[in-house]
Homo-oligomer: A and B are copies of this chain.
């Protein structure tokens, strides 16, 4: 819906093979060595243990990353919105689980059309949605696999009783164009429990709740079903649970400040692969400098960004990102910090965003670097795909 822009200007200094620190800012950067480390790590924790990895593309919205994840052993990806699924399918991703509900007959029609072109499954938690999808798939001559979402403590979507789950399974069975593939059981709150041991206990409790739903299905003779869920914070516990057949972790590929601050153990310690490149654009006071990354380049719903200490100049030691305005970040020096050096006007820094998913959704492309040089630019095809 955007008009062609007569004055379109590319990001200054962005050239393959040139130094990444020459790229004008704000710029969304991926450290490829760390990214590849994270992909290999998640693959090694899942597939060899008989559990599928189906990374959540809501965390990166990028077909190149989705293809890289599948090449590293993932069975496909999750999308959270139908338009996101269309964007990734259009860029060649052919196995998508829509890990969310649809409540619009037009969207059901489009889902049925998409299911004729790629392998598609969709979540349901309401009988009317099942009926809409059943009619739409019959009309399109396609088949949609449905997963019933069950609430294992997240208190968001999903049915909370075995009876409601079975009613949906029965409804699905009345539609020849639909098939029941299993359950989605996701608890976002578990992902962010700080302590490793406490997080393990929370994940075990969630898995136990999911197991109750699975047991009720087994009593009906329904076996070998998919149970999809889990995330970056609980991946190793979900694999060990014996309940989940498929893990939906998303943030692990790029990471963010929020996840990075959790307690990790050596068994799974993803690296910060995502940064915001920023520039000091104003140096008005000895204890205050201003950078060019604000609320339109990162989001603060999970708190302020941190400074990537391993990437930044010594002059930034003792400084923190203290306040985000729309287009500015205000950095302040800690009062006790004794250095007389201050970041120079025009100097660069790297920030770790608080929350990867909504931050990525602000940008059109990743600038991917290795060894200090730009190696690739990956479009974020599903940026802004909100319906």
Contacts and interface: CB of A to CB of B under 8 A. Distances in A.
Given A126-B345, A292-B103, A381 B5 contact: yes
Nearest to A1: B365
Contact of A5 (B3, B58, B87, B290): B87
B284 A13 contact: no
A279 interface: yes
Interface of A: 1-3, 5-13, 24-27, 58, 80-81, 83, 86-87, 89-91, 100-104, 106-107, 110, 114, 117, 125-126, 128-129, 151, 155-160, 188, 279-285, 288, 290, 292, 295-297, 299-301, 324-328, 330, 345-346, 355, 357-358, 361-365, 377, 379-381, 383-384, 386-387
Contact of A104 (B1, B3, B24, B80): B24
Contact of A296 (B9, B157, B346, B357): B357
A290 B159 CA distance: 13
A179 to B, nearest CB: 22
A326 B125 CA distance: 19
B301 A103 contact: no
Given A86-B7, A114-B7, A292-B387, A157 B284 contact: yes
Nearest to A366: B1
Copies in the complex: 2
Q: Which 7 A-B pairs have the closest CB atoms?
A: A7-B90, A12-B106, A5-B90, A103-B281, A157-B282, A1-B365, A6-B90
A294 to B, nearest CB: 8
Contacts of A91: 3, 5-6
Contact of A326 (B158, B288, B357, B384): B357
Contacts of A363: 384, 386
Contact of A301 (B100, B292, B295): B295
Contacts of A387: 11-12, 24-27, 292
A249 B129 CA distance: 45
A110 B9 contact: yes
Contacts of A157: 281-282, 284, 290, 328
A381 B104 contact: no
A9 B385 CA distance: 10
A299 B295 contact: yes
Scoring A126, A377, A387 by chain B CB atoms within 10 A of each residue's CB, the highest score goes to A387
B362 A3 contact: no
A290 to B, nearest CB: 5
A322 to B, nearest CB: 11
B386 A284 contact: no
Given A101-B282, A158-B284, 18 more contacts: A2-B383, A5-B90, A5-B91, A7-B90, A24-B106, A24-B107, A101-B281, A103-B346, A126-B282, A126-B283, A126-B345, A156-B284, A157-B328, A159-B284, A296-B358, A301-B301, A326-B357, A364-B384
Nearest to A288: B155
Contact of A379 (B1, B13, B102): B1
A129 to B, nearest CB: 8
A81 B327 contact: yes
